[in-house]
Structure 1
């Protein structure tokens, strides 16, 4: 087994394709395929399932990937310590619902590696795609929320995909509005207060089920309903149309428009926001660092981080 083979493995998982990985590694596709086949033969396992759509990790492959990442991290440490070499090119990906605090933590992580070579990916995407990204190792971590309404359905899906939900914090729902909205100044708003304002939500593509919604209370009837695909557009519509959306209430003052205000929504609902990861895979050092930034940022906004060990 060679270190280069492990690097190849991690690259293939990142791109989900031997073809794409070969292009970025500047080697031929047959050479890369042969290197992985040799690794599989030597280890006595099948790492990838191959199909016309690309490759996917087997159960053995998922476990092997976790060990491969740890080996590469240890090699980095040894080379830096004894050969005065720069650490190898950093690879890390996150998929998330549209939360500014998740972006802010990602920015802080990247800043800490500004002297290194890196290839980071942050995907703000649909709920079902987050689950798919993490289950296929396109992203190491996914960020989404559970509540009483969607938990049973999403937990069933996570179990089928061999993923685990790790709670981060519990949030009371807030509405985001423009600072010029007539509702600004109220200590809280009710659903009745919002009836005549345009409601903005993130569309979920083919999986536009109520259970995959990024917003709570997704089944209620709305007079005015607008679906969009990205956070910047929602903010533009909040300002341009005097609309509103429902979220956690965590606004990153460093990254968000100062024109957006969060107001508590008077409902009994609660959101448990957390992260998902494969059940059989040990997190990389990079993922652990990202979670530290994420928890620190959330704590700075006055939320209590949930300690999983204590429930």
Structure 2
């Protein structure tokens, strides 16, 4: 039994299939099956039950895999302790579509001559469920999840089930983003005022429940969202608080809705046992600095 083989077992559990795990690991299926059999014989337990749709861990197998994950995490811990390189910049993060987070990322790149270093950056925008799965699967080291405060217990259950560490970053109410040419710019805004406007939706954040009673467009690309806001005055977006610099650059106005307040919350997540690198810590510091600016 060796360390690499433990990682193989974890992949089999993840994909619930020996053949799929073998494809992901770039080894042939008979070789992977042989490794599993050898480990089962050495540990004197049956780790996986085979069935026609794949494999699932046995009770003893789940215990074994839980310990295997801890060993892998400890090895990762040792690597992170000694792999900080002043000439390299490593960051791997999965986040919601949010201007304050992207602003923090830009500020992070600008600090300490980071752009002069060898870059290894992975900045991915997606929804909270995908972020949780990506961090759990090890595809991203860090994640930021966003959800309504009222759904907090639901997400905590998922995070605890996946054994992920979570730290609150920011609680806020969604606000209304409009251009300086929007007729609502100088008015107090109520929900009824939005019925004559077109909502530009991120696609994965739903503020208004009456989808059939108001005009909206699902737009997933941020650049065209901002362009539409500027070119079509009667459009708006629900957004998290934004940096003043970005509002000024785009001639945008941020307004509160007088009769619609739904608190959302952002959490930083990472795998239990994962040790934050110096780069991770620097990014989190930039993130918290920007949060203080937009509060």
Q: Distance in 2 between matches of 1:143 and 1:256?
A: 26
Q: Deviations over 1:27-70 (max 9, x none)?
A: x868xx99xx8xxx8xx9xxxx9xx99xxxx5445434443343
- Residue 231 (structure 1) aligned with residue 222 (structure 2): yes
Matches within 5 A, 1:28-39: none
Q: After TM superposition, what 4+ stretches of structure 1 lie above 6 angstroms from structure 2?
A: 16-22
Deviation at 1:103, TM superposition (A): 1.0
1:184 alignment partner, SS class: coil
Q: 1:192–1:70: structure 2 CA closer, same or farther, 3 Å change rule? A: same
CA root-mean-square deviation: 4.1
Paired position in structure 2 for 1:75: 82
TM-score computed with the length of structure 2 as normaliser: 0.69
Asked if the contact 2:136/2:271 (under 8 Å) is kept, the reply is no
1:177-210, Cα deviation, whole Å (9 max, x unpaired) = 1121111123x41111111101121224xxxxxx
Partner of 1:166: 167
1:156-305 residue pairs with structure 2 within 5 A? 156-186=157-187, 188-204=188-204, 214-218=205-209, 221-241=212-232, 242-251=234-243, 253-254=245-246, 257-267=249-259, 269-278=261-270, 280-285=272-277, 286-301=279-294, 303=295
1: CA distance, partners of 2:209 / 2:100: 22
CA distance in 2, matches of 1:150, 1:220: 20
Q: Which residue is equivalent to 2:115?
A: 114
SS in 1 for 2:253: strand
Question: Structure 2 vs 1, CA of residues 75 and 156 (structure 1 numbering), >3 Å: closer, same or farther?
Answer: closer
Mapped contact 1:248–1:271 kept (Cα < 8 A): no
Q: How far apart in 1 are the matches of 2:102 and 2:78?
A: 28
In the other structure, the counterpart of 2:148 is 147
Write the deviation string for residues 160-192 of structure 1: whole angstroms up to 9, x where unpaired: 333344221221321011121111123x41111
Map of 2:61 onto structure 1: none
Q: Is contact 1:168-1:273 (8 Å) kept?
A: yes
Measured in 2, the distance between the counterparts of 1:159 and 1:100 equals 28
Measured after TM superposition, the shift of residue 264 of structure 1 is 1.2
Q: Give the 3-state SS of the residue equivalent to 2:245 in structure 1.
A: coil
User: How far is 1:268 from its partner?
Assistant: 5.3
Cα separation, partners in 2 of 1:222 and 1:59, compared to 1, 3 Å: farther
TM-score, L = length of structure 1: 0.66
Q: Which runs of 5+ in 2 are unaligned?
A: 55-64
Distance 1:123 1:185 in 2: 36
Aligned-residue offset at 1:263: 0.9
| Higher share in helix | 2
Contact 1:143/1:273 (8 A) holds in 2: no
Secondary structure at the counterpart of residue 108 of structure 1:
helix
Cα distance in 2, alignment partners of residues 300 and 287 from structure 1: 20
Please tell me whether Structure 1 or Structure 2 has the larger radius of gyration of its CA atoms: 2
Alpha carbons of structure 1 residues 203 and 272: separation in structure 2 relative to 1, 3 Å: closer
Deviations 1:264-305 (A, max 9, x none): 11135342432242452334223222111100111122x2xx
| Pair 1:236–1:202, CA change in 2 (3 A) | same
Match of 2:98? 99
Helix, strand or coil at the partner of 2:235: coil
String of CA shifts for 1:139-167, please: whole Å, max 9, x gaps. Answer: 22222323244334433333333334422
Query: Unaligned stretches of 5+ in structure 1?
Result: 23-27, 205-213, 304-311
